[in-house]
Amino acid sequence: MKKRVYNFAAGPATLPYEVLEASAAALLDFQGKGYGIAECSHRGKEFDAVLDETIARCRALLSIPETHDVLFLQGGATQQFAVIPMNFLSGPAEYVVSGEWSRKSSEAAKGIGGDKIRVIASSESTAFDRLPSPINPDPNAAYLHICSNETVHGNRFVEWPSHPTLVVDASSEIMSRPHPVARTGIIYAGAQKNLGPSGVVLMIVRKDLYDRIPKSVPKIFNYKVHAEAKSCLNTPPTFGIYVLLETFRWMERQGGLAAIEKRNAEKAKAIYDAIDESGGYYKGTVSDKAARSHMNITFKLAKDELTDKFIKEASAKDMVALKGYRTVGGIRASVYNGMPVEGCQALATHMREFAKANG
Amino acid sequence: MKKRVYNFAAGPATLPYEVLEASAAALLDFQGKGYGIAECSHRGKEFDAVLDETIARCRALLSIPETHDVLFLQGGATQQFAVIPMNFLSGPAEYVVSGEWSRKSSEAAKGIGGDKIRVIASSESTAFDRLPSPINPDPNAAYLHICSNETVHGNRFVEWPSHPTLVVDASSEIMSRPHPVARTGIIYAGAQKNLGPSGVVLMIVRKDLYDRIPKSVPKIFNYKVHAEAKSCLNTPPTFGIYVLLETFRWMERQGGLAAIEKRNAEKAKAIYDAIDESGGYYKGTVSDKAARSHMNITFKLAKDELTDKFIKEASAKDMVALKGYRTVGGIRASVYNGMPVEGCQALATHMREFAKANG
């Protein structure tokens, strides 16, 4: 293995090296066939087997019931921000705004549905330092939309709220833990945090929702048509899907999602402890500790002017991409599934040493 | 290098091995940084440099004037079939139907524009064995849409027709030769034939067209918004774009598009000669020889019942993916830029040997 740094990028993000190695090998040659996995037809038997196995492993890892389809789409979660209301706005829909991404999705939905989009709870007035409360969704709403983990602001719903049609943008926490698929209408996620390269969207859709799709929706944006075509209505991002397969295999080798959740909790605790034990030297930007993300750990230095120095010295210790989002500032450590425990421990050590040296 | 077969797949298709090697290496580690090109932010300096170089090399190879933008989008050419009329249907638009793909694009456009979509010429009545004729477009039409090379039916426009706003789906011949960019409104192409993996669309758009985009178009489908964001409105398919960069570098090493065009003509000639010199044993499905594709060579055996045997024996000689499209039958040899001359010569030799042995 080449020398790897600890890469805390928010997405595209660090992937397990085993996944990269297996994917790079398959790019050059797939199963000794004399061509790579990106070079064969999406309708041929090689890719069809890849697709079947990818779906099956995804189903097994997440215990996805037969009531739900697994789709691999394009356009990122951002495209689904518009396409979900195009498909499923059979009546008013409700959005919870808990950070940058749920705000963006609600705005995109308003562009499609106008007044039918209702923001029923927001924590914007406190700079998203907590989850909105109370959340009292109307069970008759077409759906309730949440972003379960906010990449920019570093909060998460430990428990997803309940609604007959819960729609969850889980981009930045997908498969970082088990998800309650059976009680959701839709879970969707861009791949580029926990699953693989950008350019693939994993979408888990409850099949009964297809009945709501208006006839006016163009085929290419109609989720039912994509489901019937097993994500091959048009050429899917075949190589990206292959990387997801290798990631799912890796997840199983890690012991599955319950084991991954436990490891992620340990990783997050290492850094949050360094914040909480710093005597105020570091301050988490999420004030409600119960809502702290296990994927995106956001904090500031009390001496804000030392932020650049903190980042520079971390970089010298092979820890990169720690700069906070431009509207938030400070530090953001994204610690997706691909980040090893040792990376989080190294960052915690750096935090303690830096505080001591710059007290 | 591992053993490579001659892979005649129609797309996703064979790529130059040098491109695969460089891309696989960058997947594991980008410029010694300790992370791969799929693992760093699309807004960071590493990917920004990749994007700039990819655009610059594309511009240089195609001599793209400053009047046109270069975009990298998602959703395949198929998504653009719908999004182009969403953006640019300022009045009736005209479509030429010369095969499977232009038929599909005209149908998708009708789903958006209804009666505003006019098919002004079609060769469907002769099973697309030639180009439609005559083509008399209305210069006042919002645009004239063609598919310049039909992957399924194996025909092409040697010269693209003229229109003040010519829109060209060039998916299966993009950068197989120089293109007259300056006199086109839009050229678009899925990457998975000549450029790289599926999941990236190259789109070259004349900037003055943006003025026609209705305000009602959702941002994620608005080409002007994508152009202003330099294809980073949302996370682009970063690894796919990196493969395109390696392909563009390879194209330059080949001597540029004029040299590639010449090589492609030689490659196609090798196979067409084997058809034409077979005394009727093989018959090209395109009867107008002037309209024969240099990318997708479609033909049938007079003894149609020997088709499977032909394919099986070719496979034994390491030539794969020769089966024709299901609605056409026979043989299709797709010989994109990534197919070496030797592959075409090997196929021509197989054709001659097979005809001799099965006369």
Report the mean per-residue pLDDT for chain A.
97
Are A12 and B318 a contacting pair at CB < 8 A? no
Nearest CA-CA distance, residue B54 and chain A, Å: 17
A69, A169, A224, A267: the catalytic one is: A169
pLDDT at A232: 97
Task: Report the DSSP pairing between strands B6-7 and A93-97.
Answer: unpaired
Bridge partners, A333 (sequence order): A297
Q: What's the whole-number mean pLDDT along residues A306-332?
A: 97
Quickly count: other Cβ atoms within 10 Å of residue A133's Cβ: 11
Nearest-Cα residue of chain B relative to residue A215:
B111
The answer to whether residue A2 scores a pLDDT higher than 90 is no
**Residue of B213, B235, B243 to mutate for A, most A C-beta atoms under 10 A:** B235
Q: Would you call A242 an interface residue with chain B, using a CB distance cutoff of 8 Å?
A: no
A1 confidence band (pLDDT: 50, 70, 90): low
Let me know if B160 is a catalytic residue: no
Q: Would you call A50 an interface residue with chain B, using a CB distance cutoff of 8 Å?
A: no
Q: Are B174 and B184 in contact (CB under 8 A)?
A: no
pLDDT at A88: 98
Measured between alpha carbons, how far is A25 from A18 in angstroms, rounded to an integer? 11
pLDDT at B2: 67
CB pairs under 8 A between A and B: 214
**Closest C-alpha to B298, from B148, B151, B170, B122:** B151
Q: Would you call A192 an interface residue with chain B, using a CB distance cutoff of 8 Å?
A: yes
Q: What is the DSSP letter of A299?
A: E
pLDDT at B353: 98
Are B220 and A78 a contacting pair at CB < 8 A? yes
Give contacts of A 212-241 with B, CB under 8 A: 218-221, 233-240
Q: What's the whole-number mean pLDDT along residues A279-284?
A: 98
Quickly count: other Cβ atoms within 10 Å of residue B181's Cβ: 18
**Helices within chain A (DSSP H only):** 17-28, 45-62, 76-88, 100-113, 223-228, 238-253, 257-276, 307-316, 341-357
**A13 vs B contacts (CB less than 8 Å):** 39
* Interval A267-277: pLDDT, tens: 999 999 999 99
Please identify every stretch of chain B with a pLDDT value under 70, giving residue numbers as ranges: 1-2
Let me know if B101 is a catalytic residue: yes
The answer to whether residue A239 scores a pLDDT higher than 70 is yes
pLDDT at B1: 62
Q: What's the whole-number mean pLDDT along residues A77-102?
A: 98
Measured between alpha carbons, how far is B345 from A201 in angstroms, rounded to an integer? 41
In single-letter form, the type of residue at position B202 comes to L
pLDDT at B34: 97
pLDDT at B281: 98
**Closest C-alpha to B241, from B14, B58, B54:** B54
Are B44 and A9 a contacting pair at CB < 8 A? yes
Bridge partners, B296 (sequence order): B334
**Residue of A105, A235, A247, A332 to mutate for B, most B C-beta atoms under 10 A:** A235
Are B237 and A240 a contacting pair at CB < 8 A? yes
Are A12 and B78 a contacting pair at CB < 8 A? no
The answer to whether residue A195 scores a pLDDT higher than 80 is yes
